[in-house]
Structure 1
Amino acid sequence: MESSTFRRNAVAYMFLLPWLLGLFAFVVGPMISSLYLSFTKYDIVSPAQWIGIANFKEIFGQDMRFLKALKATFIFVFTSVPLKLAFALFVAILLNRSIRSIGLYRSVFYLPSLLGGSVAIAVVWKRIFSQDGFVNTVLGWFHIEGQIWIASPTFAIYTIVILAVWQFGSPMIIFLAGLKQIPEHLYEASSIDGATKRQQFLKITLPMLSPVIFFNLVLQTINGFMVFTQGYIITKGGPLDSTLLYTIYLYEKGFKFFQMGYASALSWILLVIVGVFTAIIFMTSKHWIYYESEGGAAK
Structure 2
Amino acid sequence: MTHHDEAAAVRPLTRAWVSRHLAAGERIVGTEALPGGITAEMRRLTIGTRDGGTRDLVLRTFVDTEHAEDRLHREAGALTLCTGTGVPAPGLVAVDPAASHGEYPSLLMTHLAGRTVLDDEGLEARVPLLARQLVAIHAVRPVERPRDYVALTTADTVVVPQGADAAAWAAAIDVIRRPAPPGAGRFLHRDFQPGNVLFEVPPGDPAGARITGVVDWAAASWGPADLDVAHCSTNLALLHGPAWGPRFAEAYEEAGGALAAAASERLYWRVRDALALSEEVRRVSRPWREAGRTDLTARAVEERLDAYVTALMDAPG
Looking at secondary structure, tell me which structure has more strand per residue: 2
More helix by share: 1
- Structure of greater Rg: 1
Higher relative contact order (CA 8 A, sep 6+): 1
Fold conserved between structures, TM > 0.5: no
The TM-score normalised by the length of structure 1 is 0.26
